[in-house]
Amino acid sequence: MGAFDTIVTVTREDGTSRTLSIGQPSLSIDGRYARLDGSDATLVLSRADAEKLTLPVRDLFVLSVLDFDVQKVKQLHVTGEGADLMLSREAGSSQWNGTYNGAVIAPEPVKVDDLINALNDFQMDDFLMGRSFESVTAASKAVVTLEDGSETVIAVGPEVEGKYEIAITGMPCVFIANLADLTGIISQVSAFASMTPPPAPAPDASGTVAPASSPETTGVLTTAPPEFTPSEVPVAVPAAVTLPVEPAAVPAAESAVVLPPSAPEADLPAEATAQ
């Protein structure tokens, strides 16, 4: 019968337990040998039931191992695969700033949210117990910083036969991811390379910077009209106009002013002589 090397133990709330020991494939029935609670009696489990009880350990875990608050991320720095992406924002702000390989970019908020959610929801393929964070030599790295200053570092090792070892700070093991699973995130990072802001308008020969066009002026005819030539346009000359002539106003005659008669001179005394 061989060894019973797969042990399944179920413990109840009251502390009692039951143990099922599963051995090698049965020679007569499509299944595997089994023993219950250490008994010498040998049973046979059907192959379907045996497969349910002998799942790979990785299938017993949800391998979406990152669990940070995406609304609290204030900075994301991704390096590797020829890219150096830095995204940051002020606490409480929805406006992201960034650089890609040192060049300033204008990150689209929706694309930033998509990348952060993709990292947080990423599903690993497997894990390796007994491996530390330092055991992975990072070829790529992502550092997620929250508003409270806490950081999560994701170190991705070099590709080996289509698989990557991934170490995450605070985790007691190393994870395995497939190249196909990482391709989507790599593409999302690369998409930021095209998010460069529009170039500043260049000055003309006189050194004047032309104003940027606006939606209101786009499509408006800006060609100057042809020069005006007086000879090309007939000018109508109005007929002579006779204006009525009013007689000049005659000022009214001034009223005669009657002066009062002068008083008669008084007779001088005889003895008065001229001085």
38 lies in the same domain as 77: no
Pair type for strands 83-88 and 73-80: antiparallel
Give just the sign of the alpha carbon dihedral 185, 189, 190, 194: positive
Helical ranges in the chain per DSSP H: 47-53, 109-120, 179-190
Strand partners, 62: none
Express each pLDDT in 209-251 by its tens digit: 555 554 444 444 444 455 545 455 455 545 554 555 555 554 4
User: For residue 134, is it within any domain?
Assistant: yes
End-to-end CA distance of the chain: 182
84 lies in the same domain as 190: yes
Look at residue 198 in the predicted model and tell me its pLDDT: 67
Look at residue 202 in the predicted model and tell me its pLDDT: 66
Look at residue 227 in the predicted model and tell me its pLDDT: 53
User: For residue 235, is it within any domain?
Assistant: no
User: For residue 122, is it within any domain?
Assistant: yes
Look at residue 216 in the predicted model and tell me its pLDDT: 44
- CATH code, domain carrying 174: 3.30.1490
pLDDT greater at residue 4 or residue 1: 4
pLDDT greater at residue 93 or residue 235: 93
User: For residue 89, is it within any domain?
Assistant: yes
What CA–CA distance (Å, rounded) separates 171 from 175? 9
Contact 106, 89 (CB under 8 A): no
Express each pLDDT in 24-77 by its tens digit: 999 888 999 999 998 989 999 999 998 888 876 666 666 677 888 999 999 999
Q: Which of the listed residues 174, 194, 214 is the one where a domain comes to its end? A: 194
Q: Which of the listed residues 171, 194, 217 is the one where a domain comes to its end? A: 194
For 193-229, give the DSSP string: GG-PPPPPPPB-TTSPBPPPP-TTTTT---SPPPPP-
pLDDT band at 130 (very low <50, low <70, confident <90, very high): confident
Look at residue 137 in the predicted model and tell me its pLDDT: 93
What CA–CA distance (Å, rounded) separates 63 from 70? 18
90 lies in the same domain as 147: yes
Contact 151, 144 (CB under 8 A): yes
Query: How many folded domains does the chain comprise?
Result: 2
Express each pLDDT in 158-176 by its tens digit: 999 889 999 999 888 899 9
144 lies in the same domain as 105: yes
Q: Which of the listed residues 135, 159, 194 is the one where a domain comes to its end? A: 194
Structural domain boundaries enclosing 49: 6-54
Say what the pTM is: 0.56
31 lies in the same domain as 141: no
119 lies in the same domain as 172: yes
Pair type for strands 140-146 and 151-156: antiparallel
Contact 32, 52 (CB under 8 A): no
Ordered strands of the 103-105 beta sheet: 103-105, 97-100, 83-88, 73-80, 140-146, 151-156, 163-168, 173-178, 126-129
User: For residue 249, is it within any domain?
Assistant: no
User: For residue 234, is it within any domain?
Assistant: no
User: For residue 184, is it within any domain?
Assistant: yes
186 lies in the same domain as 93: yes
10 lies in the same domain as 49: yes
SS3 label, residue 102? coil
pLDDT band at 99 (very low <50, low <70, confident <90, very high): very high
99 lies in the same domain as 175: yes
142 lies in the same domain as 27: no
117 lies in the same domain as 175: yes
pLDDT greater at residue 188 or residue 225: 188
163 lies in the same domain as 74: yes
